[in-house]
Amino acid sequence: MSKKSTTARFNEDAPISQADIDSGKLVLRKRVEGRVVQAKKRVTLYLDASLVERFKGMAGERGYQTLINEALKNSLQQSDIEATIRKVIREELKERKAA
């Protein structure tokens, strides 16, 4: 006996109503070259209370978790940039010493 899918189907041709938006069942997913970009993953994370309060204060209406996510992404990008700059400087110094 096969199980019926419990996942709601969305008719892409039907217009989106205010009821759809209010129900919170719509999930906007970004698409790149026709593929759906990977969704976020739920995690449990313990943070200092002062840190959470600071992000909540900065977020306003936007959502503090979004700000934390962006801060983490920016931190990783900054690390990558710093590593790249250090690598280039080392290569330049080696070339000057060799010359």
**Can you read off the two tokens belonging to residue 88?**
């280039």
Tens-place pLDDT, residues 14-42: 777 777 777 766 666 667 776 666 677 88
Give the pLDDT confidence score for residue 13 in this predicted structure: 72
Distance CA 24, CA 39 (A): 16
How crowded is residue 42: how many other Cβ atoms within 10 Å of its Cβ? Answer: 5
Tens-place pLDDT, residues 41-54: 888 999 999 999 99
DSSP 29: -
